[in-house]
Structure 1
Amino acid sequence: MEIVETCGKGTLSAGEPSTKRSITSNYDDDEVVGFEIHAEIIMKKLIRGTKERDVISIYGMPGLGKTTLTRKVYNNPSIVNYFDVKAWCVVSQTYNRRTILVEIFKQATNDEIKIKEDDDVADMLRRVLIGKRYLIVLDDIWDVEAWEDLGICFPQGEYGSRVMVTTRIEEMAKHLQNHSDPYSLSFLTSEESWELLEKKVFRGESCPPDLLEVGLQVALHCKGLPLVVVLIAGIIAKMDREASLWLELANDLSSLALGEQSMKVIQSSYDHLEDHLKHCLLYMGLFPEDHKITVDDLLKLWMAEEFVLNSETENMEEASRNCLSDLLNRSLVMVSGMRINRDIVYCSLHDVVREFCLRKLTEDKYMLLTVPYNPYQHLCSTKSRLCIYIHDDLVEQLDHSENQLDKIPMLDFKETNSLEFIAHPKLNTWNNQYWNPLDLLVKLRFVRALHLMDLALPDSWATAMQLLTELRYLALHVRQFKLEWISHLHNLQTLQLKSSKRIRLRAATLWEMKKLRHVNIDSFSVVWEDNDKGNFEESSTSMLENMKTFRNCDIRLDNMNARLWWRFPNLEKVGLQVEDEPKFPVFPIPEVHTRLHSVSLKFSLMKVFKSVGWERYFVFPSNIRHLYLDGFFLTEEMVLNIARSKKLESLKLHVGFPFMRLQSFRKGSWDVTNVEFPALKYLTLHDMMMNEWKASEESFPVLEKLVIRRGIIKEIPPSFADIPTLKLIELIDCMESVGVSAMNIKRDIEENTGCDSLHVLVVNQK
């Protein structure tokens, strides 16, 4: 197999792909592993489909073999014979339009027509291609501008012509979309990785039995990236065939995988990033190997460290999400977990990318100059702050030097007090070496982000925090907590708490922390003292305008708590536990919260059960897109309240009872025959206590995914077969009859439409 990924800057090469040796191994095309299905799909796109010119885009992270797959297809005899004209060129990051067009022209004419300096090559190329079925490959394209420069030279027509494009940038592939969807190249499976490794190392022979198990371990450690498999195979092929040596290599794969070749591959993508994205990526390299990074935490950490350049939006959260989207778009970050609505929950770095990040940090001696975010400062300001990453070596030296920074050899400067520290996101080393990291923390007075959620701190933590006045992000696991203990942290943006005791936040103290953006506590309540109520009334114009997330708050729906939400006009996510019988609306003026898009409500069933007309207190803001309800009665009026949310995209119902008071638990029926959820795409029913479910084809007109977990649901309404957008039904530990109804719906769709568009997934975890 030959892995080719162009290195990018300043170099242009063009011509037949069989002659290209950018970053390669000694594989022949007939030894390509894992691309057979991909190649078959791509060839169908080339030969079948529209007769108009189409663009076939293949995208994915560096080293996946996009160029190799394209070459396999390009050189396939059926493709060679199908097209009248074929041409291949590598575009790369820096390119010369005329040079590329000249090379394509030479290949299209077999170099039979000579070109003069003053010739209009673009026009000459168009004339050559008009009336012919052509295939042009643009390998490693980076910018939309490059396509706009070149694409106009490839004429339209009804001849079945195709342009194939490889890119690392997903957004680029989507921009080029014409008739065919962009094609995302996936990682090799563990079996395919081993097959490729075995072919490379043993040259067609079978692996000896005594090396089979350790060989599989080596292949598994390559994490499905063909480039790494090939590079590691080259190392193993030169080693003695001893299991102990191979095992040692498998355990130290990260340091071996990133040789000069793969360094260039990642470096070219890294060089293409804006400076603030480089800092965001390097920061991710500090998380442990194979760690699934929680996206919600990562974005808040970026904000705390002021990596986010808030240049195009007033919303830092949106700017942070844009940064992550950019890194995902460039295939440098991988998605590791998604919600049913396709929101990304976890992301991660491939080992090769992570090792690259760690090496870049090592080159910079773990120090980095960054331009801070400042809404009142011009973005081009040269004012920077000096930062240092707290890494394992530094922690060890701090331990040996009794936590005195000026005694650490690797810190080659005198004014340690001028440093602003970036803490390690996951303090694993501290957890192992320090039963109490507080002695070290007090030395790091300029730290901005502390994540100590995995370590239960002693009660003395509050005293240690007195010196850390620059904190923006604080995640703690403590036995008890009072907001007054950290009220001096006037820059604090994020507060996450886990506690063994119920936490009570005094309303007056909360009001002092004007920069708070995200409050996420296991369970807490807002406490109103007598003098607080007076101050609340007097300061009626005061707002916590930065507050975006506020959860999980145990509330009493009385007058004071209901009016509290008025003061959070820019709230986006809220999670509440309704503790008692409702007496006031949860959102007294729903129109106030125009940015609120996610609401989570947990009910006290017995309190609601005793209440009459409780549903009228749950009218939701008009812009909510995600709603989670737990422990409630799904009465007719409550269903109508939910349906009034015309923008609602995802609905999760947990431990719900769709019955009126006169019904028994076993006869609960949820009838939405005459109710429409116009924008609902994702519906999850978890432990729902409903015996019967009725719906019409108009009830869920755009539903895409239905998930049912446990409960006493017997079947899915047959009308689901009439939902044209339905793609997935996932059943987890459900009754057998539910699975039967799902398969009946799938069969009806296939018979009516002739398409196998619905996927039914049945999982039994019991």
Structure 2
Amino acid sequence: MEIVETCGKGTLSAGEPSTKRSITSNYDDDEVVGFEIHAEIIMKKLIRGTKERDVISIYGMPGLGKTTLARKVYNNPSIVNYFDVKAWCAVSQTYNRRTLLVEIFKQATNDEIEIKEDDDVADLLRRVLIGKRYLIVLDDIWDVEAWEDLGICFPQGDYGSRVILTTRIEEMAKHLQHHSDPYSLSFLTSEESWELLEKKVFRGESCPPDLLEAGLQVAQHCKGLPLVVVLIAGMIAKMDREESLWLEVANDLSSIGLGEQSMKVIQSSYDHLKDHLKPCLLYMSLFPEDHKIPVDDLLKLWMAEEFVLNVKTENIEEASRDCLNDLLNRSLVMVSTKKINGDIERCILHDVVREFCLRKLKEEKFMQLTVPYSPYQHFCSMNSRLCIYIHDDLVKQLDHCEYQLDKITMLESKESTKCFGECSRSLEFIAHPYFNPWNKTNPLPLLVKLKLVRVLHFPYKELPSSWPIAVQSLTYLRYLEISVEEFDFECISHLVDLQTLVVSSSKFIRTSPATIWKMKKLRHLNVNKLSLVWDDNDKAIFEETSIMLENLKTFHSHRICVADMNPRFWWRFVNLEELSLRVEALPSCPLFPSVEVHTRLQSLNLVISPRGFLDSSGWESYFVFPSNLRHLRIGGCFLTKEMILNIARLKKLESLTLDGGFRWDKIEHHCWDVTNVNFPALKYLELHCVRIEEWKASEESFPVLEELSIRIGYFYKDIPPSFADIPTLRLIKLYDYTDSLGVSAMNIKKEIEENTGCDSLQVLLL
């Protein structure tokens, strides 16, 4: 593989398009100051030295940035293109060997090989890695046994393979030494601490002179811990820019010993949070250690638990995003992965922050008074509710007490008993992500006892057929995610407060649209197989009334049959922002009869079965899309001239993904000619297995493109040379590509360097 080196890098009226606020963060792992020399040393250990497999250990106390350093090296283009196979997994104190091996195997094979329950994953992984130059990162490893469990699956050989370990424990790092000496991560210098603090607080601007002395004192008292620096930066960035306030922070830091400094700083950051943000943060600690939390799911859970105080906007999703932005910008929450458009897809808690949150929950005996959201209720209402977090200790007690709530010792203290007795009507449980007694007992009898629960999350195994009986008593549900054999909307029609419904059913869900109209508060609907049954009465009611589900923001169906009435069905979701459909056959009518109905639709994911395409004409007229789309993904559809023009009409489109699947064998030749077509706002273009044997484009075709990604590019000869004339182009990623395609990408990079004198384009050959 070739080594590629690079440098640099409100409230809406009904007729307005939604301006969905992005989730961003001041804290970027790649921008941490003082890691450049460390990264250079680690990269030399990876690329140079012995050809035998080597283990490189990075050790140091919590908060020094071991994971950040490993991630910075792991993502460096030189490293990405040097190794044949790369995989990253977080080990942590408690781990499941098979789960970790499955995770490594999926990354090593790009998730293209399915694993069955009885497969020997260790053997499969060895076969995949043998004969290849691989890089495996085992992050946050705590004992030698963990290495012995996993390391045996990483074959020896003379290919230059490497394993990076990060650990807090110096003795273990030395014990696992192979060829390279363990690497001790040092503290930041005072100058580096100040540089990092200034960058995070002032976002690239210089510190005002009147704050300089106080800022230097704050940085000095962070004692060289990057985690402490970014946490303090997140806190003082929200404070008034007054020297006296900053000096107070510096004095407080000076009195804290190094061992407990991280915890004390997190406590200070926690104390400065607004009240409604505290349960949001504590809730995140209930996810497993190092768990990459899906942002979309997290926001819906916060909404269901009524953590989000919706005091400034009628859009509670926007309020939830603001909450996460606040936690991110204070560095209490970190970015894990991003979507192609730059939005944050998954987030994670630093293990020290999570440890603090768990301590806080334990101090409060897993109980917390929470003010619920109500659009008609004042912010400071005393009508609060008592929540009990179902955490590890409580799970054990529930199991020991056979799930009889009145026997739980955690609730037997004088104060707790009083609360339990007086507040029993408002007592509710916030579920632990691990809390699933399925393997030991039928969960349904327990659900009957948790009548005030707001979130029911059983997505992985099918519930017994009697599930509708248990759900009858859960009238406070706002979030329901289940896997069942059969589903009927009538079984949940009594859940009038339901906001999020996610259903996985092994059979098609056949329902009358009238059952869905009853769920007026529904905001997010995701059903895997949906078939709408329209009888004459439904049609008459539908035509004669103006039934609208005005709260619905997202609608997803992984398989849906499109009949004549269906487009008019989602026509009634006037405030829809995200729509995802897998259409089973070529539709016989337009998907959007009136494209200007969905003025707020931002994201459309459309996968179409290719049946009927080759034998029909004029089908492109059925795919005229709402004009305010910003993100579009189309799978299975042919790129005819008319279809390209339909897409080009979307003047606000920022990201476009075209997925051809593997169904292009009958097409002998395909040319994608966009020479005279303009995509004025397109920043991200991804082509996945699209058969483009000839690609023509001009420099005006993609004037603001920033990223081009091509997956399974066996059909491509080259990228149009005009891409060298796009001033905004920063990244080209090629997966499973032809030699000619790789050469064309490098030629574009070379031409940009010659024309501009700057190495602004990064090329990743994967």
Deviates more, 1:477-486 or 1:698-707: 477-486
Give, in angstroms, the shift of residue 398 of structure 1.
Answer: 2.1
Give, in angstroms, the shift of residue 145 of structure 1.
Answer: 8.0
- 2:760 matches 1:757: yes
Spell out structure 1 runs of 4+ moving beyond 6 A.
37-40, 97-107, 656-659
Q: Is the 8 A contact 1:742 1:760 kept in 2?
A: yes
Determine the structure 2 residue equivalent to 1:266: 266
Q: Is the 8 A contact 1:395 1:429 kept in 2?
A: no
Give 2:717's match in structure 1, choosing from 714, 717, 721: 714
Deviates more, 1:663-672 or 1:376-385: 663-672
Q: Deviations over 1:246-300 (max 9, x none)?
A: xxxxxxxxxxxxx633220211111111111111000000001111111111000
Give, in angstroms, the shift of residue 761 of structure 1.
Answer: 0.6
Determine the structure 2 residue equivalent to 1:256: none
Q: Is the 8 A contact 2:686 2:710 kept in 1?
A: yes
Determine the structure 1 residue equivalent to 2:464: 458
- 2:425 matches 1:418: yes
Counterparts in 2 of 1:615 and 1:457: CA distance versus 1, 3 Å: same
Q: Is the 8 A contact 1:634 1:656 kept in 2?
A: no
Determine the C-alpha separation between the residues in 2 that align with 1:288 and 1:656.
Answer: 35
Determine the C-alpha separation between the residues in 2 that align with 1:669 and 1:105.
Answer: 59
Q: Is the 8 A contact 2:368 2:387 kept in 1?
A: yes
Give, in angstroms, the shift of residue 535 of structure 1.
Answer: 2.2
Q: Is the 8 A contact 1:299 1:320 kept in 2?
A: yes
- 2:669 matches 1:667: yes
The AA in structure 2 aligned to 1:707 is: S
Q: Is the 8 A contact 1:581 1:611 kept in 2?
A: no
Question: Over aligned residue pairs, what C-alpha RMSD do you find?
Answer: 3.5
Give 1:575's match in structure 2, choosing from 563, 571, 580: 580
Determine the structure 2 residue equivalent to 1:617: 622
| DSSP 3-state at the match of 1:730 | strand
Give, in angstroms, the shift of residue 456 of structure 1.
Answer: 2.4
**Greater Rg over alpha carbons, structure:** 1
Counterparts in 2 of 1:647 and 1:385: CA distance versus 1, 3 Å: same
More relative contact order, 1 or 2 (CA 8 Å, 6+ apart): 2
Determine the C-alpha separation between the residues in 1 that align with 2:616 and 2:765.
Answer: 39
Q: Deviations over 1:667-712 (max 9, x none)?
A: 1110101001000000110011121111111111110111100141
Determine the structure 2 residue equivalent to 1:330: 330
The AA in structure 2 aligned to 1:715 is: D
Q: Deviations over 1:62-111 (max 9, x none)?
A: 765999646145999xxxxxxxxxxx9xx99xxxx99977967999xxxx
Give, in angstroms, the shift of residue 655 of structure 1.
Answer: 0.8
The AA in structure 2 aligned to 1:330 is: R
Give, in angstroms, the shift of residue 367 of structure 1.
Answer: 0.5
Counterparts in 2 of 1:365 and 1:696: CA distance versus 1, 3 Å: same
Determine the structure 2 residue equivalent to 1:684: 686
Q: Deviations over 1:22-67 (max 9, x none)?
A: xxxxxxxxxx984646999xxxxxxxxxxxxxxxxxxxx9765999
Give, in angstroms, the shift of residue 146 of structure 1.
Answer: 6.2
- 2:560 matches 1:441: no
Determine the structure 1 residue equivalent to 2:53: none
Deviates more, 1:435-444 or 1:346-355: 435-444
| DSSP 3-state at the match of 1:378 | coil
Determine the structure 2 residue equivalent to 1:71: 190
Give, in angstroms, the shift of residue 584 of structure 1.
Answer: 2.3
Determine the C-alpha separation between the residues in 1 that align with 2:740 and 2:492.
Answer: 55
Q: Is the 8 A contact 1:574 1:598 kept in 2?
A: yes
Q: Is the 8 A contact 1:686 1:709 kept in 2?
A: yes
Counterparts in 2 of 1:104 and 1:323: CA distance versus 1, 3 Å: closer
The AA in structure 2 aligned to 1:697 is: E
The AA in structure 2 aligned to 1:405 is: L
Determine the C-alpha separation between the residues in 2 that align with 1:326 and 1:532.
Answer: 46
Determine the C-alpha separation between the residues in 1 that align with 2:654 and 2:732.
Answer: 16
Determine the structure 1 residue equivalent to 2:4: none
TM-score of the two chains, using structure 1 as the length reference: 0.68
Determine the C-alpha separation between the residues in 1 that align with 2:518 and 2:188.
Answer: 59
Determine the structure 2 residue equivalent to 1:386: 386
The AA in structure 1 aligned to 2:309 is: L
Give, in angstroms, the shift of residue 665 of structure 1.
Answer: 1.7
TM-score of the two chains, using structure 2 as the length reference: 0.68
Determine the C-alpha separation between the residues in 2 that align with 1:704 and 1:105.
Answer: 36
Determine the structure 1 residue equivalent to 2:48: none
Q: How many residues align?
A: 558
Determine the structure 2 residue equivalent to 1:318: 318
Give 2:513's match in structure 1, choosing from 507, 516, 520: 507
Q: Deviations over 1:322-376 (max 9, x none)?
A: 1111111111111111111112111111111111111101111110001110011
The AA in structure 1 aligned to 2:635 is: D
Determine the C-alpha separation between the residues in 1 that align with 2:577 and 2:193.
Answer: 49
Determine the C-alpha separation between the residues in 2 that align with 1:75 and 1:275.
Answer: 30
- 2:481 matches 1:475: yes
Q: Is the 8 A contact 2:211 2:241 kept in 1?
A: no
Counterparts in 2 of 1:74 and 1:713: CA distance versus 1, 3 Å: closer
Determine the C-alpha separation between the residues in 2 that align with 1:74 and 1:326.
Answer: 23
| DSSP 3-state at the match of 2:437 | helix
Counterparts in 2 of 1:347 and 1:530: CA distance versus 1, 3 Å: same
Q: Is the 8 A contact 1:632 1:657 kept in 2?
A: no
Determine the C-alpha separation between the residues in 2 that align with 1:436 and 1:526.
Answer: 32
Determine the C-alpha separation between the residues in 1 that align with 2:603 and 2:615.
Answer: 28
Question: Residues 221-370 of structure 1: matches in 2 within 5 Å?
Answer: 260-370=260-370
- 2:743 matches 1:737: no
| DSSP 3-state at the match of 2:527 | strand
Q: Is the 8 A contact 1:709 1:731 kept in 2?
A: yes
Counterparts in 2 of 1:721 and 1:512: CA distance versus 1, 3 Å: same
Q: Deviations over 1:180-207 (max 9, x none)?
A: xxxxxxxxxxxxxxxxxxxxxxxxxxxx
Determine the structure 2 residue equivalent to 1:631: 636
* Structure 1 gap segments, 5+ residues each: 1-31, 41-60, 77-87, 108-138, 152-165, 168-229, 232-258
Give, in angstroms, the shift of residue 657 of structure 1.
Answer: 9.9
Identity over aligned pairs, percent: 60
The AA in structure 2 aligned to 1:427 is: Y
The AA in structure 2 aligned to 1:422 is: F
Determine the structure 2 residue equivalent to 1:746: 749
* Structure 2 gap segments, 5+ residues each: 1-32, 42-61, 69-185, 218-231, 251-256
Give, in angstroms, the shift of residue 608 of structure 1.
Answer: 3.0
Give, in angstroms, the shift of residue 734 of structure 1.
Answer: 1.2
Determine the structure 1 residue equivalent to 2:705: 703
Give, in angstroms, the shift of residue 636 of structure 1.
Answer: 0.7
Give 2:656's match in structure 1, choosing from 651, 673, 689: 651
Q: Deviations over 1:480-526 (max 9, x none)?
A: 11111111111111011122222223211111111111011223222
